Amino acid sequence: MKRLKVYLDTSVVSYLYQKDAPEKMQDTLSLWELFKEGVYEVYVSDIVFREIDRCSEEKLNILLDYLDQIEYHEVETDSNTIELAGKFIDFGILKKKSFDDCQHIAAALLAGCDVIISWNFKHIVNVKTVKGVKVVTTLEGYKDLLIYPPSVLLEEGDDDE
């Protein structure tokens, strides 16, 4: 069976070391074990690296160590990413101040991912964004992109055993 192509936004990587949110941190660490086992084909964009670079040096080093533990495809954003991200703003799905979030979604679509996972319920994992992305993918001819919190993949991983 073909592995799901899973795009990680910055919130997923960040919650690997987020002591003030122990439940999300534990779910993310559990999911990381599945990534280490190769259950999913993982995608991370240069946006993630740019965003985690803003962390404290201690947290940045911890997150980079975690990323070194898994195999992933690095997605380089380009003018196509920026153009597609702009469509999410043009369609009123997200506002300009959430442009990085739009770029995450665009990068996942352009990389041909099946799922984008995120702990960002305000901008990414919510009904308005999910419906809006569906509209854009349909109009622009992209395959559907599922949008879920990481814990959903834990349930998926359990079924594969």
Residue 14 scores a pLDDT above 90: yes
Looking at residue 114, its pLDDT comes to: 97
For residue 126, give the 3-state DSSP assignment.
coil
Q: List the domain range (segments joined by +) for residue 150.
A: 5-159
Residue 159 scores a pLDDT above 60: no
Looking at residue 158, its pLDDT comes to: 55
Residue 93 belongs to a domain with what CATH number?
Answer: 3.40.50.1010
Mean pLDDT of 45-62: 97
Nearest to 9 by CA among 30, 26, 22, 28: 28
Phi, then psi, of 102 in degrees rounded to 5: -60, -40
pLDDT tens profile 70-108: 999 999 999 999 999 999 999 999 999 999 999 999 999
Q: Report H helices in 37-150.
A: 46-52, 57-68, 79-90, 99-110, 127-140
Q: How many domains does the chain have?
A: 1
